[in-house]
Amino acid sequence: MQIQIDNSSNRPVYQQIIDAVKRDIALERIKLGEKLPTVRQLAGELVINPNTIAKAYRQLETEGIITTRPGSGAFVAEMNSNISKSVRKKIVIQELERIAIDAVHMQISNEELTQWFAEVIKKFKNTFGE
């Protein structure tokens, strides 16, 4: 787990931790069943309040990304999305549209954007759904 907190970012710290965990799982840097750093340990490393880490872990558990057990630790859970297919599509499309809009206003060409998309996809190809 290598997490870089950007204090100048307007993205909340607890959210940056959630982002990092999700990213590392998607990139297979941490795998199913592996243990995450403890709340207090991560808090020490990053020099932030343990409550902030706890908040991130709590939300990750709510989302089904990890499972936690007091006395034991936090572990990477199996992937099984509890949201319905239609809702998932809605969410993703919404995010894709925002990118497209941003790209238009940045005067990025259709071809460029498509190529960048392909590059990104390649990075995660091992962990996509079946």
Partner DNA sequence: TAATTGTACTATCGCAACTAATACAAGTAT
Partner DNA sequence: ATACTTGTATTAGTTGCGATAGTACAATTA
Site of interaction with its own copies (CB under 8 A): 19, 22-23, 25-26, 63, 65, 79-81, 83, 88-89, 91-93, 95-110, 112-114, 116-117, 119-121, 123-125, 127-130
Work out how close the CB of 23 gets to DNA at its nearest, in angstroms, rounded to a whole number. 17
Side chain identity, residue 58: R
3-state secondary structure 58-82: HHHHHCCCEEEECCCEEEECCCCCC
Question: Is the alpha carbon torsion for 97, 99, 101, 104 positive or negative?
Answer: negative
Query: Which residue lies nearer to DNA by CB, 49 or 115?
Result: 49
81: partner contacted, choices its own copies, DNA, none (Cβ within 5-8 A by kind): its own copies
Do residues 45 and 87 make contact, with C-beta atoms less than 8 angstroms apart? no
Work out how close the CB of 43 gets to its own copies at its nearest, in angstroms, rounded to a whole number. 24
- Give CA–CA dist 78/2, Å, rounded: 21
Binding interface with DNA (CB under 7 A): 12-15, 36, 38-41, 48-52, 54-55, 57-58, 61, 68-74
